Amino acid sequence: MSMLLAVHDAYGAVLAQVGNPTPEAPPASDKLLKLVRYFTWFVLLSGVLGITYAGGRFAWEKWTGGGLESPKMVAGAMIGGIIATSAGTIMNAVIA
């Protein structure tokens, strides 16, 4: 029993010396975050442009009576947007 108390006191002495560290941003992290923000805007813009292009092509195919390939493009753009949005949410949850 006295051995257990000695071990408990030793752990208490060691743990009492460990302070509460404050997180610090790594060097050049502001540039990396700026790059990530630009990339996020690029992904959002490309998704909007992709859906707009696929919608215009869908209307053209419908008007000319050609084969309907554009619904696949619309679905692909929407799935890509969902994946891109989910990736940002997941990364924010992991980082925070």
How much is the pLDDT for 75? 81
- From residue 31, alpha-carbon distances to 35, 42, 47, 71, 91 in Å are 6, 17, 24, 39, 18
pLDDT by 10s per residue, the chain, length 96: 566 666 666 666 655 566 666 778 788 888 888 888 888 888 888 878 888 888 888 888 878 877 777 777 778 878 887 887 787 777 777 776
How much is the pLDDT for 63? 81
How much is the pLDDT for 96? 63
Residue 71 within any structural domain of the chain? yes
Residue 13 within any structural domain of the chain? no
How much is the pLDDT for 16? 55
Q: Which of 56, 60, 91, 93 is nearest to 77 (CA)?
A: 56
Structure tokens at 82: 């969902």
Three-class DSSP category at 37: helix
How much is the pLDDT for 37? 85
Residue 24 within any structural domain of the chain? no
Domain ranges, residue 44: 29-95
Pure H helices in the chain: 2-17, 29-64, 70-95
Domains identified in the chain, total number: 1
